[in-house]
């Protein structure tokens, strides 16, 4: 069993995986999803509904490890909205564009 202090130290040392696998996080994640009625809060603001699949750290975990389990720093999001707030995590596939036709 990890204490929150040990988990914060893990995050600071670059071991976020230990945090995300901890019972502390898993319980907090479940609590936040329940708090937000398992609905994506970004979609809800737009008048739409999407099932929340992710609990997002508003202030990024790497930058603010001390806020790792603070309720007011956590929000439930669908995967699409989570990818929008984390574009750096998306893999961009570059395609070569040929500007002239080469039919012969």
Per-residue pLDDT tens digits for 40-49:
999 999 999 9
Cα–Cα distances in angstroms (integers) from residue 90 to residues 19, 30, 83, 87, 93, in the given order: 22, 25, 7, 5, 9
Question: Which DSSP string do the residues of 55-103 spell out, in sequence order?
Answer: EEESS-TTT-GGGTT-GGGEEEE-HHHHHHH-GGGSPPPP-----S---
Segment 81-99, tens digit of pLDDT: 999 998 876 655 444 545 5
In the chain, what are the domain boundaries? 4-86
Mean pLDDT of the chain: 86
Res. 33 pLDDT band, cuts 50 70 90: very high
- Confidence (pLDDT) at 10: 86
Instruction: Kindly tell me the number of DSSP H helices and DSSP E strands found in the chain.
Output: 5, 2
* C-alpha closest to that of 62 among 7, 11, 3, 8: 11
């Amino acid at each position: 069993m990890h204490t929150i202090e040990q988990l914060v130290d893990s995050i600071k040392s670059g071991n976020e995986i230990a945090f995300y696998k901890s019972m502390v996080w898993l319980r907090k994640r479940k609590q936040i999803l329940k708090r937000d009625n398992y609905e994506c809060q970004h979609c809800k603001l737009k008048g739409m509904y999407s099932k929340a699949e992710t609990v997002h750290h508003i202030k990024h975990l790497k930058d603010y490890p001390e806020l790792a389990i603070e309720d007011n720093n956590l929000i439930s999001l669908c995967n699409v909205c989570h990818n929008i707030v984390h574009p750096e995590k998306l893999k961009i596939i570059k395609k070569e564009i040929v500007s002239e036709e080469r039919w012969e």
